[in-house]
Structure 1
Amino acid sequence: MVHIYVCIIKKSLHQNVLIMHIIGRKFLRSLLWILGLFVNPIIYLLNCRGKKTVPPITNPLLTISAAELAKRIRERKLKSEDVIKAYIERCKEVNPIINAVVEPRYDIALTEAKNIDQMIASGTHSIEQLEKIYPLLGIPITVKESIAVAGMSNEAGRFRSKRIPAVKDADCIAQVRAAGAIPLLVSNTPELCMCWETFNYVTGTTKNPYDTRKTVGGSSGGEAALISSGASLIGIGSDIAGSLRLPAMYTGIFGHKPTPYAVSTDGHKPYCTYEEWNEVFILGPMTRYAEDLPLILNVLKNPKGPNLQLEKKVPIEEIKFFFMEGDGSGATNEINSDMYDAIHRVIRYLENKQIKVQKANLKKLKYCFEVSVLNLLRLEGVETIFSKPGNPSEWRSVSKEFFKKIFGLSKSTFTCIAYGFLKKLSRLIPKSDYEKAIKINQELKTEFMDLLQDNGVCLYPTFIKNAPFHYDYISHLMDFTYLFMFNSLGLPATNCPVGIAMNGLPIGIQVVASPGCDHLLFSVAKELENAFGGWIPPS
């Protein structure tokens, strides 16, 4: 199946592109449909019973935004120690249900909170100085385990016979610590972040706080589950194929994929030696409250990166709005009625405010599936389970690991092994086809940027439906184009929660802008939070 998949992608960018564009995609969708006939009944039987939700939040400290908490801590209206205690207690309460914590640092966090309270009480700095120097002073933060926190697990879900903690903080963690934030723990991720289901053989499966039978997505699923449960306030995830936005949508929180190069990726696993890695891969914030997005991104931003103008506030009436309901390619499934209704509820809300929302029609969008896949597959030097230590470009045998998996001897997940085969087969594709894909990708990016310019955003579905049963991603592999196309294009995108569907699960949409216009997305996120309630607690 993988070989056929690669061959079709290869042919679809040749001269006979229109025929292959239609036939190839229908063939792939048919294969996935047939696969679903066998897999979906098993998935349903495994997940149809045992629904649980996390208990209600009872401590009011857990329902205050990071911006407001930091203000109260600076003004000595609250103690950081009390805030950290409240979050530790909530983590201990919900983790047996959602299984999102890989390794805690609760005792150390409490000590750090006490030190902060003492520093504030000493009066060494004025309130204004504290706000300027330490914008996150005393605030708890959680971190995806693939991002290095000194002394903590940093294996990105890989099985190791011996614990080897991170030696030093990743660049972005050093920055949030310098701003006064206190890391509470590292959270679960699929092995090497290579799956849209947060599962590995070390920690197991992370579950959705709204319904434990349902997935949190991946790969930043541990962060999403904790934040949505009220066990974390702000978190740091990573995104290469929707890894940050999909879990945010499935759990009803905000997840922002910033402009490329805006946040340093040094200290993340997997890493990559390819010079254009940071065009498609980036770290970003996940929050319960829209006002916390610019607060945390302003701390996370790379001093050597692009100017994001996060302090710039743009009234919603001055932003141009466009929308699309999908790529129109025939490669992906259409959005379901819940997602369609979400998009159009937002449109109606804006139009009631006398804001025009135009339907966009981008000619090159129909190629986004093939182009996005090829743009990701062309990346060389990515750390995998096959990489030899210190040299990700040199691989050990893929077939050997496959046969170990068949006989139950492999400690790696199926998706990591499948990536090995897909990557090997992708090398059969001529260089000229990759060059064509890059060209079309740039043309599509230009179409987007010409449309949006520096004052426009596009409303776009985050995915075709809200959180399904665990492992349902298998029959929707092509549908993740809704997410990874914006990694391929290098456009910033934010998942914004816009309510709860009839099945009791959150619904969200993506808002997309031109590179460097992240501030527009934050203005829209705040507006939609005010209009539709933002994060709504699971209970």
Structure 2
Amino acid sequence: MSTPELDDPKSALLNALTFASAKQQADALAEGRVSAVDLLEHSLARIARFDDILNAVVARDFDAARNAAREADAALTRGERRPLLGVPITVKESFDVAGLVTSVGNPSYADNRAERDSLAVAALREAGAVIIGKTNVPLGLADLQSYNEVYGLTRNPWDLERTPGGSSGGSAAALAAGYVALELGSDIGGSIRIPAHFTGVFGHKPSYGLVSLTGSGVPRGRASARDLSVAGPLARSAADLELALDLLLNRDPLTSKAWRATLPPARHTRLAEFRVLVLDTWPGTQRSLSERLVIERVVERLRTQGVYVSRPADLPQGLLPDLVRAHALYRTLLGSSLAEPPVPSEAARQRLAALAPADESADAAWLSAPYLAHRDWLKADEQRHALRHQWERLFKAFDVIVTPVAPVAAFRHNHQEPKDERTYPVAFDDGVREVRFLDFFHWAGLPVLPGLPATSFPLGLDDDGLPVSAQAVGPWLEDRTPIAFAHLLEQAYGGFVVPPGYGA
């Protein structure tokens, strides 16, 4: 039985483009098969249809987006061609967009209206992107869930009772729901990769220092780069990650006067050529059922493609960095980088007071980090740079390191306070146990400390029908290698899956 909508060629094309890549949408615009105005209105219609419940796009300027779409159509008619000309996108709330508020979910900054675009947003706008608005985050970008007093709660399209992750949770939800094909996020503790894992999209944490964060966060006017933090893209295809990354490079007007980043090509163009080290169990812990599923699935696919997969037991002694010591160091530098460290709970203060002087655990590092003297920070920084060189030696033997992203798929909303004392149910071979919030960051933190690039890529669904992902970690400044690895797996086995009920 036909319907007017299905019989309308324009509607059929727009529906076909709903879950297309940004590159495919840009090609359709450049070829004149669709107009920027029509593509934008299609995106806005989906937001109107789904976002009262999902609450992903929380800062909106649809009138400005419509003006930009009309300008894009005029430019296309003149023959202009830019990588994202006329493509609608959203960006994470923490990035300044001229005329919109940047609050990071903090009511104290609810009136912090940006006067100009951040450098990263400006790069995407110059490439022709039509910016619809901004997507939700947790308070201070410091949670695995995305809710706050300013904008409320964002839900996961796969299950409304579950989180899409944080801190780029609204970003991932907007992609999975088919609002836009490209998003701009940031990552210091998995804030791109964990939401990508929870919603079944792709996310890339660039090498540290490649993408400017100028014009993001609060308070406004910050000129220095925040330690460990990076900006990077989320998308529904691996190829879009590379497209966006190329646009985001070399935006700082001070450094670009003298030098420019030119990333080396991917090490290989065929999966069988990749040398892959797989890590499936964090030292000193038991592997969760979700971690086992993820690694078994990716290993099976790699071996089917002729890839030789190595395990830590195959390595010479000392080649793999000490992950436990590295994680404690990550906790030290992460905690000491917080511009506004959280007020510790009474239990945390008691634990801090009871710490033994020789305690080198990750918990001790996290408790002590906000009070670190600068001379001690410098010692930790020296250890960080030594670790980067150790990873570089490992990457002479391997091209990518594949790990889980988190110990579970998307979990149910949990707003218990204080946040650091939350626990979440995780299934293991011997049953379900509660795992602390602080123990969710082992895999996510692994590439952050040495500043390595890491690409989160979907691997289908688990037994509960939720998306799961792995991450490919690459050598410093060789971002194209893990993206290419994810892209080749996507070509062979597929990638993003549309959540039930969100089809065009």
Structure 2 length-normalised TM? 0.81
Cα separation, 1, equivalents of 2:105 and 2:370: 27
Matched-pair contact (CA < 8 Å) for 1:260–1:278: no
Matched-pair contact (CA < 8 Å) for 1:307–1:516: no
Give identity over the alignment, percent. 30
Cα separation, 2, equivalents of 1:453 and 1:276: 33
Cα separation, 1, equivalents of 2:217 and 2:372: 27
What is the CA distance between 1:357 and its match in structure 2?
A: 1.0
Cα separation, 1, equivalents of 2:220 and 2:441: 22
- 2:412 aligned to which of 464, 469, 489: 469
1:50 aligned partner? none
Matched-pair contact (CA < 8 Å) for 2:213–2:225: no
Segments of structure 2 that go 5 or more residues without pairing to the other structure are 1-12, 347-364, 416-421, 424-435
1:319 aligned partner? 274
2:39 aligned partner? 83
Cα separation, 2, equivalents of 1:537 and 1:424: 41
Matched-pair contact (CA < 8 Å) for 1:339–1:507: no
Amino acid at match of 1:165: R
1:532 aligned partner? 493
- 2:63 aligned to which of 92, 107, 113: 107
Change (3 A) 1:313 1:267: farther
Query: RCO (CA 8 Å, sep 6+): is it higher in 1 or 2?
Result: 1
Change (3 A) 1:530 1:283: same
Matched-pair contact (CA < 8 Å) for 1:326–1:482: no
Report whether the alignment pairs 1:356 with 2:304: no
2:460 aligned partner? 499
1:185 aligned partner? 133
Amino acid at match of 2:209: Y
Cα separation, 2, equivalents of 1:264 and 1:310: 21
- 2:442 aligned to which of 481, 487, 499: 481
2:98 aligned partner? 150
Report whether the alignment pairs 1:283 with 2:231: yes
| More helix by percentage | 1
3-state SS of the aligned residue for 2:286? coil
Change (3 A) 1:171 1:431: closer
Cα separation, 2, equivalents of 1:101 and 1:264: 23
- 2:151 aligned to which of 203, 216, 219: 203
Change (3 A) 1:375 1:115: same
Taking the TM superposition and a 5 Å limit, the aligned residue runs for 1:267-278 are 267-270=215-218, 277-278=225-226
3-state SS of the aligned residue for 2:292? helix
What is the CA distance between 1:423 and its match in structure 2?
A: 8.4
Residue by residue, what CA displacement relative to the aligned partner does 1:87-123 show, whole Å, maximum 9, x if unpaired?
1111111111211121212222122112211222234
User: Quick check: 338-347 or 250-259, which moved more?
Assistant: 338-347
Report whether the alignment pairs 1:241 with 2:197: no
3-state SS of the aligned residue for 1:355? coil
Change (3 A) 1:100 1:520: same
Cα separation, 2, equivalents of 1:524 and 1:110: 37
Amino acid at match of 1:369: H
Report whether the alignment pairs 1:164 with 2:112: yes
- 2:20 aligned to which of 44, 56, 64: 64
1:45 aligned partner? none
Q: How many residues align?
A: 440
Residue by residue, what CA displacement relative to the aligned partner does 1:170-217 show, whole Å, maximum 9, x if unpaired?
001111111100111111111221222111111111111100111111
Cα separation, 2, equivalents of 1:369 and 1:117: 50
Cα separation, 1, equivalents of 2:228 and 2:109: 32
Segments of structure 1 that go 5 or more residues without pairing to the other structure are 1-56, 387-397, 404-421
Residue by residue, what CA displacement relative to the aligned partner does 1:455-501 show, whole Å, maximum 9, x if unpaired?
60010110111111112864231231221232111111011000101
Cα separation, 2, equivalents of 1:315 and 1:269: 39
Change (3 A) 1:491 1:273: farther
What is the CA distance between 1:319 and its match in structure 2?
A: 2.3
Residue by residue, what CA displacement relative to the aligned partner does 1:358-409 show, whole Å, maximum 9, x if unpaired?
1135252231221110121233xx54389xxxxxxxxxxx59xx89xxxxxx
Change (3 A) 1:457 1:111: same
What is the CA distance between 1:440 and its match in structure 2?
A: 4.2
Cα separation, 2, equivalents of 1:281 and 1:185: 22
Change (3 A) 1:287 1:181: same
Report whether the alignment pairs 1:378 with 2:305: no
What is the CA distance between 1:337 and its match in structure 2?
A: 1.8
- 1:251 aligned to which of 194, 199, 202: 199
Amino acid at match of 1:62: T
Report whether the alignment pairs 1:264 with 2:212: yes
Cα separation, 2, equivalents of 1:95 and 1:85: 15
Residue by residue, what CA displacement relative to the aligned partner does 1:319-340 show, whole Å, maximum 9, x if unpaired?
2211111331x2xx43422321
What is the CA distance between 1:274 and its match in structure 2?
A: 9.9
Cα separation, 2, equivalents of 1:296 and 1:324: 28
What is the CA distance between 1:445 and its match in structure 2?
A: 2.7
What is the CA distance between 1:278 and its match in structure 2?
A: 4.8
Matched-pair contact (CA < 8 Å) for 2:336–2:372: no
Report whether the alignment pairs 1:446 with 2:392: no
Change (3 A) 1:427 1:109: closer
